[in-house]
Amino acid sequence: MNLIKKFLASEDGPTAVEYAVMLALIVVVCIGTITNVGTKVNNSFNSSTSSLP
């Protein structure tokens, strides 16, 4: 029981949660950006391929 009280009293728990939320947001933004860039590059290659004789 003392271990739980110490964990709740310390700031390590909330800090870890904040870092986890920030990491999750960064991962979501990175995945979205990579997907968007990948789509644009794919469209560019398809356009280049279709214009070749």
**pLDDT for res 7:** 67
Coil, helix or strand at residue 53: coil
Exposed/middle/buried for 44, CB within 10 Å: 0-12, 13-18, 19+?
exposed
Task: In whole angstroms, give the CA distance from residue 7 to residue 46.
Answer: 55
What digits encode the pLDDT tens for the residues 5-53? 776 676 666 777 888 999 999 999 999 999 999 999 999 999 999 888 7
- Asked if residue 6 lies in contact with residue 12, where contact means CB atoms within 8 angstroms, the answer is no
pTM, rounded to two decimals: 0.64
Higher pLDDT, 2 or 5: 2
Of 26, 22, 28, which Cα lies nearest the Cα of 14? 22
**pLDDT for res 28:** 98
**pLDDT for res 41:** 96
